[in-house]
Amino acid sequence: MPDALIELSDVGFAWPGQAELLDIPAFTLQRGESLFLKGPSGSGKTTLLGLLGGVQKPGRGSLRLLGQELAQMSSGARDRFRVDHTGYIFQQFNLLPFLSVRENVELPCRFSKTRADRAVDRFGSVAEAAAQLLAHLGLRAELLERRADTLSIGQQQRVAAARALIGQPELVIADEPTSALDHDAREAFLRLLFAECREAGASLLFVSHDQSLAPLFDRDVSLAELNRATRPAEI
């Protein structure tokens, strides 16, 4: 298989009636790589993540994930491809409060047979996959049947990470997931996340304003460096 997990070439995107927000000549994320992506609010980070997840389509250019051209897929095909191959950790975690911790972690396997099969192959069952991932991420077994909305912020963060990792998606996208934690807690969480990504063979794309975390990653990139739409004109 090729080494590149994500390949962008001459990708452009503009919201209707607005100037082009993204103009990215080239960008690559390697398989198994951890990448720190930084950029100020309004720079297009969330839009880029939407393109990588197939939520939006680029206006032009090539965007390939696992060798598949996302822009050529139908909306439904992109949705299926996303749930099969991408795990998300959101800034607000987006757990379903009325479900238990275990049920939240198992959700991707309800929608993706690919990830359910991988979970069973690795752990014997989806339930055991959820339990093992939560244990590896430092969550006690007695919390598995608790409602997600009864957990602390740090505990919810670990549940969100386990949900993203279950079923070994090739790509894990983390969008400001550590913003509510202090510095020591952020580093501890990241080291657990790195370990699980390595075990699953997943690439990690981590978006944050906290530049102090950047040295922990294989590579760190500024969206302003990638995006010609935000660069000052050359003289």
Question: What pLDDT does residue 78 have?
Answer: 93
CB-CB contact of 4 with 63 (8 Å): no
Nearest to residue 215, comparing CAs of 52, 2, 38? Answer: 38
Beta bridge partners of 68: 65
Binned at pLDDT 50, 70 and 90, residue 2 comes out as low
What is the overall mean pLDDT for the chain? 91
Region 92-107: mean pLDDT is: 94
DSSP for the chain, written as a single string: --SEEEEEEEEEE--TTS--SEEEEEEEEETT-EEEEE--TTSSHHHHHHHHTTSS--SEEEEEETTEEGGGS-HHHHHHHHHHHEEEE-TT----TTSBHHHHHHHHHHH-HHHHHHHHHHHSSHHHHHHHHHHHTT--GGGTTSBGGGS-HHHHHHHHHHHHHTT--SEEEEESTTTTS-HHHHHHHHHHHHHHHHHHT-EEEEE-S-GGGGGGSSEEEEHHHH-GGGSPPP-
Q: Does 235 map to a domain?
A: no
Amino acid at 86: T
Q: Does 206 map to a domain?
A: yes
Binned at pLDDT 50, 70 and 90, residue 231 comes out as low
Q: What are the pLDDT digits (tens) for 105-133? A: 999 999 999 999 999 999 999 999 999 99
Q: What are the pLDDT digits (tens) for 219-229? A: 999 998 999 98
Question: What pLDDT does residue 30 have?
Answer: 95
Q: Does 205 map to a domain?
A: yes
User: What range defines the domain where residue 23 resides?
Assistant: 4-230
Q: Does 41 map to a domain?
A: yes
Total count of domains within the chain:
1
Q: Does 55 map to a domain?
A: yes
Q: Does 35 map to a domain?
A: yes
Binned at pLDDT 50, 70 and 90, residue 40 comes out as confident
Q: Using CA atoms, how far apart are residues 2 and 224, in angstroms rounded to an integer?
A: 27
Region 2-18: mean pLDDT is: 92
Q: Does 225 map to a domain?
A: yes
Region 87-94: mean pLDDT is: 89
Cα(first)–Cα(last) distance of the chain, in Å?
A: 42
Percentage of residues in the chain with pLDDT exceeding 90?
A: 72
**Model's pTM, two decimal places?**
0.91
Q: What is the CATH number of the domain that holds 128?
A: 3.40.50.300
Region 155-162: mean pLDDT is: 92
Question: What pLDDT does residue 101 have?
Answer: 96
Q: Does 155 map to a domain?
A: yes
Question: What pLDDT does residue 227 have?
Answer: 92
